[in-house]
Structure 1
Amino acid sequence: MLHHDKDIPAIPARPDSRTNCPFQPSDPITFSHLHPQPRQVILATAVVLVKDASGTNRPGRALLDACSQALKSSTIRSSWNLPTNTPLGDERFHESRRIDLLLGAEVFYHSLAVGQIKLVPPLLILQKTLFGWVIAGRCQQQQQQQVSQCFMSSTVSIDNHLQKLWELEAVAVSPESLHPHQQICEALYTNTTVQDSHGRIIVNFPFKDDPSRHGNSVEVARRRFYAMEHASISGHMSLVINPALHESHYYITHHCVLKPSSTSTKLRVVFDASCTTTSQLSLNDLLLVGPTVQADLYLQLLKFRLFQYAMTADVTKMYRKVLVDPSFRKYQYIFWRDSPDAELQTFQLNTVTYRTAAAPYLAVRSLYYLAYKYKEEFRTGASVIKSSFYLDDLLCGADDIHTLQLIKQEFIEVLQEGNFPLA
């Protein structure tokens, strides 16, 4: 492989009334020089066998380079009189071709073997390596002409370029201002959320409009239930003997999704809080969505890759661990009966329900609620909960095992205070 050898000239001093320095960063700068005789350097290459992902050995062209160099490849047109009994590591070393891998200083010196022959011109060397004989050194092509080569030309400040580079590489997250609806949602959560005697977090629904605007959802929910008689519901609901139909309420329609091939959840119930009532409004239409309180996923993944030791976990059924205040459960009525022969009954869902507009915010914000509440007692664990969760998934790590064990112990204790089990 060919490398053009360039000599960087000294920069002539320019008078400046402001300083004795030859130039200022804001001055226009041009580096260039002329080659009366263009010189070229052959870099040592060898064809080696590289094992791919499937375990198959494939030939690849390797560059034996003891240090990094600026490269401009080209084909050398010359006659080569090489000694016999010197099998080359790369028979087509003089051709400009793609380099597949770079063998740096860590491997370079270990690949050298005893045996070196100086060729004509004398600056070319034939060196024996573990991969075969390689050719390296400076050579000169037959045709000579004066060539002007420019390294850099700039009319703007170098400082500006460096500043832009650092800004591009920065991953800092600036605090975003909340939308007025998000501010209202956050204030409602802060002022109304409590924990019961068992540690369960109890939240209110963040309505953005008068919930009495709900129309009649009973008939729609009844019709949909009749259409699916074979779903089953776990124990996160309770029977309502006298539904508050004279007050503002909402019946959430639902259906089942069967997946017999699943090993964990063969039947899943899907709730539809976007089903409109007689007023053409649904529960989701009247709920605030809430702000995003966690960092973006790509930032979490970037941080996750920084540590020597990693740890992952997820909160088991996170939504089902957050209770809805009893006064708001009338907006989570559903119809149910155990068999088609039984009478249709009204149940209320007692916990935050997936696919309601505020559910993600209420569940994730409840993790932060615990982190803020116990930040003095479990400083490390609370910090991890606020910085290393994406939805219900934990992605964190440390550079030593002791710190990782401390993180594990503390964030488990913080989450146990809110009855959030981990898997």
Structure 2
Amino acid sequence: MTKFWETEELPSETDSIKNGSEFESHPINQHFVENTYRQSDGRFVVRLPLKDSPDCLGNSFNIAKKRLFSLEKRFSNQPELKSMYVDFINEYRDLGHLSESERCYKANHLPHHPVMKESESTRMRTVFHASCPTSSGYSINDIQLVGPNIQSPLFDILLRFRQYKYVLSGDIEKQYRQIMMNEIDRNLQVILWREDEHLPIRSLTLNTVTYGFASSSWLAARCLWQLGAESKDPLVRTIIQNDFYCDDLLTGADSEIELLRIQAGVSQALASGCFNLRKYRSNSNALLKSDYINKDDHLALSQACQTLGLGWQPSQDVLNFSIKNDHSDKIVTKRKILSETFQVFDPLGLLSLCTVKAKILSPVGLN
């Protein structure tokens, strides 16, 4: 209940650490500086920021194998899901983001399962369960450092976003998977897989930063921050370091010429680190005439899997709120009110006059 109210609190000055001695001396930042290097094509290669030795991890093979069997039972009842999952693994392999490895029971094996997202362009996302305990009781997430927030709060980004006459959004394609994991740490992110239950189980090593790891979001944000720091254009540097929310760019300008320069400069700076900025959206006629813009798309932001997102329609340049109304249950309870209210993602508080009464009412009597 506490988090329910804290979700839409105004950000404080301590919500992010962007510069200064506190950022420079933070253990996870020191680890990044000492262990990160770039390939010849500019791609980042990072190491997992571990606070304890991986020797404390126990056996993880048995639980990963058990979860694979459970997944296969689910596939038997959902052939369409299986097809999507097989395509995902094959794409992962074809892009070089995973590779087959020899069976090693001492490696850390990650259970994995699908999550369906009907409202997103990617209907299925594979989640790697890095918080699953091994036989020793420790998981790989338990021994990772979790870095401070170095991106601006969404509240600040949205306020700036609405101040510009012309606005631009985009997102980075497969952001985590554009960052290579050092070979030394790849044995800590191994999965078990087979396309058919009659085939032998294979061990696959994930070669890139993995979704679900405690440090992944920080590593991705830190790589972006580094690209901004290396930019010789002060405007591009400021935008990369301040106008990204996770992998989404939200920025703008007061002239179309300036917006075109921003689009070219930011995309070029990100490309130097092998990050592809795509799915551009804008209310600028100049950009709409280019091949960059998705004219019919709308941007949807979400802060948690329970929320349905805050939307922006570039053609009308308006914010909108997506709410799923479920009228299957005719009896309205306080628990139902709580569930429906929690689905309204309103970081700017634009709907507070409508939602605050429901928030005050719903907790009463839930015990």
| TMscore range, shorter length | 0.5 to 0.7
Residue deviations 1:66-106 (CA, integer Å, cap 9, x gap): xxxxxxxxxxxxxxxxxxxxxxxxxxxxxxxxxxxxxxxxx
Q: Which residue of 1 aligns with 2:197?
A: 340
- State how far apart, in whole Å, the 1-side matches of 2:24 and 2:137 are: 22
- State how far apart, in whole Å, the 2-side matches of 1:371 and 1:258 are: 33
Alignment partner of 1:411 out of 261, 266, 273: 266
Q: Against the structure 1 CA distance between its residues 180 and 223, is the aligned structure 2 distance closer, same or farther, given a 3 Å change threshold?
A: farther
| Paired residues for 1:289-300 under 5 Å | 289-300=146-157
**Equivalent AA in structure 1 for residue 182 of structure 2:** D
Residue deviations 1:284-336 (CA, integer Å, cap 9, x gap): 10011111101111111111122121111111111111111111110001101
- State how far apart, in whole Å, the 2-side matches of 1:321 and 1:360 are: 13
Q: Against the structure 1 CA distance between its residues 277 and 388, is the aligned structure 2 distance closer, same or farther, given a 3 Å change threshold?
A: same
| Paired residues for 1:273-284 under 5 Å | 273-284=130-141
Q: Is the contact between residue 23 and residue 29 of structure 2 (CA under 8 Å) also seen in structure 1? A: no
Q: Which residue of 1 aligns with 2:29?
A: 186
Shift of residue 266 of structure 1? 3.7
Alignment partner of 1:323 out of 174, 177, 180: 180
Q: Is the contact between residue 24 and residue 30 of structure 2 (CA under 8 Å) also seen in structure 1? A: no
Alignment partner of 1:386 out of 234, 241, 255: 241
Residue deviations 1:318-357 (CA, integer Å, cap 9, x gap): 1111111111110001101121111111111111111110
Q: Is the contact between residue 182 and residue 291 of structure 1 (CA under 8 Å) also seen in structure 2? A: no
| Paired residues for 1:364-403 under 5 Å | 364-373=221-230, 375-376=231-232, 378-403=233-258
Q: Is the contact between residue 202 and residue 323 of structure 1 (CA under 8 Å) also seen in structure 2? A: yes
Between the two proteins, the alignment pairs up a number of residues equal to: 248
Q: Which residue of 2 aligns with 1:152?
A: none
Q: Against the structure 1 CA distance between its residues 186 and 263, is the aligned structure 2 distance closer, same or farther, given a 3 Å change threshold?
A: closer
State the structure with more CA Rg: 1
Alignment partner of 2:64 out of 199, 215, 221: 221
Q: Is the contact between residue 112 and residue 127 of structure 2 (CA under 8 Å) also seen in structure 1? A: yes
Q: Is the contact between residue 220 and residue 253 of structure 1 (CA under 8 Å) also seen in structure 2? A: yes
TM-score, normalising length: structure 1: 0.55
- State how far apart, in whole Å, the 2-side matches of 1:180 and 1:275 are: 30
Q: Does 1:239 pair with 2:100?
A: yes
Q: Is the contact between residue 43 and residue 180 of structure 2 (CA under 8 Å) also seen in structure 1? A: yes
Shift of residue 264 of structure 1? 3.6
- State how far apart, in whole Å, the 1-side matches of 2:59 and 2:113 are: 19
Q: Is the contact between residue 315 and residue 393 of structure 1 (CA under 8 Å) also seen in structure 2? A: yes
Residue deviations 1:118-176 (CA, integer Å, cap 9, x gap): xxxxxxxxxxxxxxxxxxxxxxxxxxxxxxxxxxxxxxxxxxxxxxxxxxxxx995775
Q: Does 1:253 pair with 2:114?
A: no
Q: Does 1:309 pair with 2:152?
A: no
- State how far apart, in whole Å, the 2-side matches of 1:365 and 1:348 are: 24
Shift of residue 197 of structure 1? 1.5
SS of 2:237's partner is helix
SS of 1:209's partner is coil
Q: Against the structure 1 CA distance between its residues 291 and 263, is the aligned structure 2 distance closer, same or farther, given a 3 Å change threshold?
A: closer
| Paired residues for 1:162-173 under 5 Å | 173=13
More helix by share: 2
SS of 1:362's partner is helix
Q: Against the structure 1 CA distance between its residues 349 and 186, is the aligned structure 2 distance closer, same or farther, given a 3 Å change threshold?
A: same
Q: Is the contact between residue 169 and residue 251 of structure 2 (CA under 8 Å) also seen in structure 1? A: yes
SS of 1:402's partner is helix
- State how far apart, in whole Å, the 1-side matches of 2:12 and 2:197 are: 58
Q: Against the structure 1 CA distance between its residues 348 and 303, is the aligned structure 2 distance closer, same or farther, given a 3 Å change threshold?
A: same
Q: Which residue of 2 aligns with 1:206?
A: 49
Q: Is the contact between residue 181 and residue 209 of structure 2 (CA under 8 Å) also seen in structure 1? A: yes
Q: Is there any run of 5+ residues in structure 2 with no aligned partner, and where? A: 1-10, 73-81, 279-367
Residue deviations 1:37-75 (CA, integer Å, cap 9, x gap): xxxxxxxxxxxxxxxxxxxxxxxxxxxxxxxxxxxxxxx
Q: Is the contact between residue 308 and residue 397 of structure 1 (CA under 8 Å) also seen in structure 2? A: yes
Q: Does 1:359 pair with 2:195?
A: no
- State how far apart, in whole Å, the 1-side matches of 2:52 and 2:40 are: 31
- State how far apart, in whole Å, the 1-side matches of 2:271 and 2:244 are: 16
RMSD of aligned residue pairs (Cα, Å): 2.6
- State how far apart, in whole Å, the 2-side matches of 1:357 and 1:178 are: 24
Q: Is there any run of 5+ residues in structure 1 with no aligned partner, and where? A: 1-170
Shift of residue 372 of structure 1? 1.4
- State how far apart, in whole Å, the 2-side matches of 1:196 and 1:321 are: 12
SS of 2:102's partner is coil
More strand by share: 1
**Equivalent AA in structure 1 for residue 115 of structure 2:** V
Percentage of pairs with the same residue: 34
Q: Is the contact between residue 287 and residue 358 of structure 1 (CA under 8 Å) also seen in structure 2? A: yes
Shift of residue 258 of structure 1? 4.8
Q: Against the structure 1 CA distance between its residues 334 and 206, is the aligned structure 2 distance closer, same or farther, given a 3 Å change threshold?
A: same
- State how far apart, in whole Å, the 1-side matches of 2:23 and 2:140 are: 20
Q: Is the contact between residue 178 and residue 291 of structure 1 (CA under 8 Å) also seen in structure 2? A: no
Q: Which residue of 2 aligns with 1:32?
A: none
